[in-house]
Structure 1
Amino acid sequence: MNTERRTRIAASFGMQGLMTTLGARLAFVSEGEVHIALPFSDRLSQQHGYVHAGAITSIADGACATRR
């Protein structure tokens, strides 16, 4: 993957305000693959102490949108 495309992907990720709110970061970018790290936080947990599925789903959605 060329540098221009990586830069465009990083810029796209940077414009996703929800990722900033969640504390997520772009961890890996390759052709057809994006990894987003989401550190555990009590602020993102549900009543049983696990990460809320809404936060996880948002990360998956962000990865799909970012990889283009």
Structure 2
Amino acid sequence: MNDERKTRLLESFGRSKIMQLFGAEVTGMDEGYFEITVPKQDFMARPAGMFNGSTIASLVDVSSGYAGASAKPEDSYFTTVELKVNYLNPAIGEQLVAKAQVIKNGKVLTVVRSDVFAVSAEGKETLAATSLVTLMQLSKKSPDKQID
């Protein structure tokens, strides 16, 4: 993936209101791969202290969409067709890291696996959830409109 493509993806990510709310940061990117890290905030935590499932599901959705977009050579826009999350362990930690990898880059449908890790203050990662996400690539109706 060239630097121009990376810059466009980072600019698009920067416009995401939910990722701004989450205080999210892109911590890894390559062709077909996208990684997002978020620090724990009060609204993300259940009373017992672990991250709530809606935060994890949001990270799965966003990381998968950007992994799909990073696998395409040109600007592309995806919509989620199906999202399946398996919550494996309590997400106890100071931050979450979503690591999304394209496993099938089709012409219309793209399938992405996204693993979400809870990271302790000491840096230990625990797999909290794994997911499969099916995305459908949409074409822009107008070349002068940015869709994201």
TM-score, length basis structure 1: 0.88
Q: Give the equivalent residue in structure 2 for 1:4.
A: 4
Question: Any runs of at least 4 consecutive aligned residues in structure 1 with deviations exceeding 6 A, and if so which?
Answer: none
In terms of fraction of residues, the more strand-rich structure is 2
Distance 2:53 2:23 in 1: 15
Distance 2:43 2:6 in 1: 30
Q: Which moved more, 1:26-35 or 1:43-52?
A: 43-52
Q: Structure 1: which 5+ runs fail to align?
A: none
Q: Is the 8 A contact 1:13 1:62 kept in 2?
A: no
RMSD: 1.1
- How do 1:1-68 residues align onto structure 2 when only pairs under 5 Å count? 1-67=1-67, 68=69
Q: How many residues align?
A: 68
Identity among equivalent positions (%) equals 31
Structure number with the bigger relative contact order (C-alpha 8 A, sep ≥ 6) is 1
Q: Structure 2: which 5+ runs fail to align?
A: 70-148
Q: Which one has the largest radius of gyration? A: 2
